[in-house]
Amino acid sequence: MANDLNLLKSWNPKLVRNRKKVWEREQELLKEEHAFKQRQREIQKERELDSLVNASRDGDRTGDRKKTGLEWMYDTGAGGSESNQEYLLGKKKLDSSVIKSPQTEETDKSKQQQKQVQKQKRKKASYDMDDPMSKVLKLQGSKNKISKRRTPK
């Protein structure tokens, strides 16, 4: 069929350009798979090396330990884990850090109020600086004050 209309369609799988696109995509996937397998082999080698290092070193020596960046998860604070375990097991009813004295609550409230007032003042000042009409009104107010001072009664 010399007059095959499918050859004119862009989606036709018999076209060379479409076969080329498919082949290129397959090559990309093969490269990704190869890179993935290579990374898996590297990870496996690292694990084997770590296990050999862990097996060869003594448990008492901590200076030889390789830094992995995960030590913070396994380090226990000074007595922190014991108190947490007691609380989680129900042995401890209330923690002293949970209960606050009334004085600290009052000071916390007053500090929060002061912060809010300061934020409002800063916000109003920023609005005043940005607003050109407020500048005009301030100039008019200052002119009125000056004129009132000059006029004798």
Angle CA 26–31–34, to nearest 5: 125
pLDDT per position as a tens digit, 73-111: 777 655 566 667 776 777 766 556 665 556 666 777 888
Q: Report how many domains make up the chain.
A: 2
User: Is 149 a member of any domain?
Assistant: yes
User: Is 37 a member of any domain?
Assistant: yes
**19 pLDDT higher than 60:** yes
Phi then psi for 64, rounded to 5 degrees? -85, -5
**25 pLDDT higher than 90:** yes
Its domain, for residue 129, covers 112-153
Q: Are 57 and 64 in contact (CB under 8 A)?
A: yes
**2 pLDDT higher than 70:** no
Give the pLDDT confidence score for residue 45 in this predicted structure: 96
Q: How far apart, in whole angstroms, are the C-alpha atoms of residue 2 and residue 18? A: 20
Does residue 54 or residue 48 have the better pLDDT? 48
- Give the pLDDT band (50/70/90) at residue 66: low
